[in-house]
Amino acid sequence: MKHTISVLVENHSGVLSRISGLFSRRGFNIDSLAVGVTEDPSISRMTIVVDGNDYTVEQVEKQLNKLIDVIKVRTIPSEELVTRELVLVKVQVETSQRSEVMDLVKIMGGKIIDISRTTLTIEMTDTTAQIALLEDLLSPYRVVEVARTGLIAVQKGAVTIHKK
Amino acid sequence: MPVRLTGSPGHRIIVENISFTGIPAGERESGGKRMKITGAEAMVKCLENEGVSVVFGYPGATICPFYDRLSHSPIRHVLVRHEQNAGHAASGYARISGKVGVCAATSGPGALNLITALATAYMDSIPLVAITGQVQSDLLGRDVFQEADITGAAEPFTKHSFLIKDVTELPRIFKEAFYIASTGRPGPVLIDIPIDIQQAEFDFSYPAGVSIRGYKPSTKGHVVQMKRVVDAITHSERPVICAGGGVIAAGAKRELREYAEKCGIPVVSTMMGIGVLPSGHPLYLGMLGTYGTSAANLAIGEADLLIIIGARVGDRAVATPGMLSQRTQVIHIDIDPAEIGKNMGTAIPLVGDAKQILTQLYDMTPGTDFSQWLLQARQWREEVSFDLGERKGYINPRAFIRSLSAALPDDAVIVSDVGQNQIWTANHCNVRPGGRFFTTGGMGTMGYAIPAAVGAKFADPGRMVVAVCGDGAFQMQMMELATVCQENLNLKIILMKNGQLGMIRELQKKQYKGNYMAVGLDGGPDYGKIAGAYGIRAAGIREQSQAGEAIEEMLSHDGPYLLQCLVRPDEPSL
């Protein structure tokens, strides 16, 4: 089962390696990990998607909390989360196929952000499921490059990671 | 002056240091005016502010600025003969003094040699601060001479680590390092300091306190959980307390004894917990686990409530935690929330400091009566039997440890190494009130006993300290005989000589059909002559009848002493 864990950490060098090292040596599997600075420039926020049972998630949380650089750890149930991921897909298309690909992208709520004689580059920001759907729809074409950011998430409503 | 092995712009700075450090420290601080000092001098001042009295270490080029300033401090430096032993000595010091142990090494190989000691301390939750020199900060990452990413390499084995890149942060980092090492679940903290940071000048002031937003260890028990604990105890029929090293680390031996006595609950200990109750205490059933006593293991097996305090439930203590937690209700009390539920399912978790929690529980728990159960436990204890019989031409190590223990003063410190000698010592040393046994519990690091005993001796020079090791591990640490001599330490070393890596031989006998591979220690030297070469008096015995006199002679000798006991190659651990 997938769990989304939000972690606030000190924004300095070495923190990412501490966290990734912890995951590898304790044998936790990460599906994705996204990092960026927060509203407080001294704090970074990591969103980690972990695959595992309740025991694993409890251990991940506890072991993360032991790291001095970790300020806060929160696992929020998926139904209480709004999540987004950004994907860039480069597709090789014949001129004749362009408009049908553009139609697909439009239906999916994506954008064409770059074009060449032989390729289209598509940007889409959405949930992991929608991005998977886009990739599926594009699979009949020649996808030559994919870059994804990994999932980021915040809790729905007025609650924040800082206060319940 | 530091020996620079890399030609670099740093030279100029060193020259400035020399002219500066010619002024005595007292003059520079007179009138309360803040004056610029070097990072190296600040390091020494930080240690002085933390009440450090001894540093175990081994110098090298990149830590020389620190050593230069350390020579002007009342802090004593003990030169070990291998950096790993600096860490072990600091560990032994910490375990007896209750203070943070400090060790120092240079960059690259010096720092890397510390890692095993850091890992050993980390497993056993020993508070250490390790200081390492590092190459010049602007050369980091260029693979210069004696450069190693030590903060990266030691990351899995330290509670926290710092690489100082700005000298003005040095005092805060030292303050935080000592705070992190000694609070919550104690552990080793590494501070890596590039040589140019040690040479840089800045305005020094030592912070009064620390505030680390990601580190707020909780020590007081949660009241609701405490009530559940009390409720479970009063409703149980066959409770057992399993006490670990956390009880000793928390300084809660007395609180544990008083609580166990008030409730009349039998106590077993892990290897790290040996000494929580005196060995002869009527409630004590001995060590549990693979190498433990039958009484302790029977009590754990029959208990309907297991109260684990300050223990990790390691595999050597509880081989099948899953089965045990299915038939027994488990209360787990620990300062580290991550230990609760890690190895064993827990019905009632309780996070906090063992001393505080036991004090609180003492007041909350009404009088209980487990006399029937206790009677059973005592009977099991009576039935514990070990083979103490004579060996012709050899020493029975169990009987020897008993004789040794009986002859030692009550407050003696016994440090065991790892292997069969550890099991013999753990099961047969008689820890009396005020006495102490300790060893490398979690990591099982060969070569621990002598350097750790050196550290223990510095923590309490007046106390009798005995190191017990086998001939395998002795050869991993015998370079420390030089430290013992140089510091003229009155340290007693017992060498259980069976010419074998005995525990592995035993394993190969049981699990590999007696296919003994690489466990024979043929080619070992005459250890008595080795000791003699250092000017250390030595003796050897091979009959139990010689033990009493030999122990007497060793203990009455004023100075270091090596006593070899010839042990049968196939002598089992239990």
CB spacing of B155 vs A18 below 8 angstroms: yes
**How far apart (Å, rounded) are the C-alpha atoms in residues B401 and B429?**
6
Closest CA to B39 of B148, B179, B193: B193
Angle at B199 between CA B198 and CA B200, to 5 degrees: 100
pLDDT digits (tens, 9 = 90+) for B136-155: 999 999 999 999 999 999 99
CB spacing of A66 vs B212 below 8 angstroms: no
Do residues A110 and A86 lie in contact, with contact meaning Cβ atoms separated by under 8 Å?
no
**Complete domains list, chain B, with CATH:** 10-203 (3.40.50.970), 223-383 (3.40.50.1220), 397-566 (3.40.50.970)
| AA letter at B427 | N
Closest CA to A117 of A142, A143, A93, A151: A93
Chain A hits for B155, Cβ within 8 Å:
17-18, 21
Closest CA to B440 of B103, B119, B120: B120
User: Pairing between strand B465-470 and B160-163?
Assistant: unpaired
Kindly state whether B282 is in contact with chain A, defined as any CB-CB distance less than 8 angstroms.
Answer: no
What number does CATH give the domain A2-75?
A: 3.30.70.260
Distance from CA of B199 to the nearest CA of A (A): 23
For domain A82-152, which CATH number applies: 3.20.20.70, 3.30.70.1150, 3.90.1150.10, 3.60.15.10? 3.30.70.1150
pLDDT-wise least confident of A118-127, B25-34, B152-161, B228-237: B25-34
If DSSP codes are grouped into helix, strand and coil, which group holds residue B442?
A: coil
Residue from A10, A16, A66 to probe the interface with B (highest B Cβ count within 10 Å): A66
Buried b (16+ CB within 10 A) or exposed e, B77-99: ebebbbbbbbbbbbbbbbbbbeb
Mean pLDDT across B191-219: 95
Kindly write down the DSSP assignment for every residue of B33-92, as one continuous string: ---EEEHHHHHHHHHHHTT--EEEEE--GGGHHHHHHHTTSSSEEEE-SSHHHHHHHHHH
Note the pLDDT of residue B408: 98
pLDDT digits (tens, 9 = 90+) for B349-359: 999 999 999 99
**How far apart (Å, rounded) are the C-alpha atoms in residues B170 and A136?**
54
Note the pLDDT of residue B226: 95
CB spacing of A65 vs B341 below 8 angstroms: no
Given a cut of 50, whether residue B38 has pLDDT beyond it is: yes
Helix (H) or strand (E) holding B422: helix B420-428
Q: In Å, how far from its chain's centre is CA B377?
A: 31
Q: Which residues contact B142 (CB under 8 A, 6 or more apart)?
A: none
CB spacing of B341 vs A25 below 8 angstroms: no
Q: Which residues of A, range 49-108, sit inside 8 Å of B by Cβ?
A: 55, 58-59, 62-63, 65-71
Distance from CA of B181 to the nearest CA of A (A): 11
Q: Which residues of B, range 112-151, sit inside 8 Å of A by Cβ?
A: 151
Q: Which residues contact B512 (CB under 8 A, 6 or more apart)?
A: none
pLDDT digits (tens, 9 = 90+) for A73-128: 999 898 999 999 999 999 999 999 999 999 999 999 999 999 999 999 999 999 99
Kindly state whether B388 is in contact with chain A, defined as any CB-CB distance less than 8 angstroms.
Answer: no
Note the pLDDT of residue B327: 86
Kindly state whether A21 is in contact with chain B, defined as any CB-CB distance less than 8 angstroms.
Answer: yes
| Mean pLDDT computed over every residue of chain A | 94
What are the helix (H) ranges across A82-127? 98-108
User: Pairing between strand A119-126 and A81-92?
Assistant: antiparallel
* Nearest CB partner across the interface for B214, out of A55, A59, A71: A71
User: Pairing between strand A2-10 and A29-37?
Assistant: unpaired
Given a cut of 70, whether residue B364 has pLDDT beyond it is: yes
**How far apart (Å, rounded) are the C-alpha atoms in residues A11 and B357?**
35
CB spacing of A67 vs B212 below 8 angstroms: no
Q: Can you give the residue ranges of every domain in chain A? A: 2-75, 82-152
Kindly state whether B156 is in contact with chain A, defined as any CB-CB distance less than 8 angstroms.
Answer: yes
Chain B hits for A68, Cβ within 8 Å:
159-160, 180, 212, 214-215
Chain A hits for B214, Cβ within 8 Å:
9-10, 67-71
Do residues B336 and B184 lie in contact, with contact meaning Cβ atoms separated by under 8 Å?
yes
| Mean pLDDT computed over every residue of chain B | 93
Kindly state whether A11 is in contact with chain B, defined as any CB-CB distance less than 8 angstroms.
Answer: no
Q: Which residues contact B367 (CB under 8 A, 6 or more apart)?
A: B262, B263
Kindly state whether B342 is in contact with chain A, defined as any CB-CB distance less than 8 angstroms.
Answer: yes
Chain A hits for B341, Cβ within 8 Å:
55, 58-59
CB spacing of A14 vs B151 below 8 angstroms: yes
Strand partners, A5: A48, A75
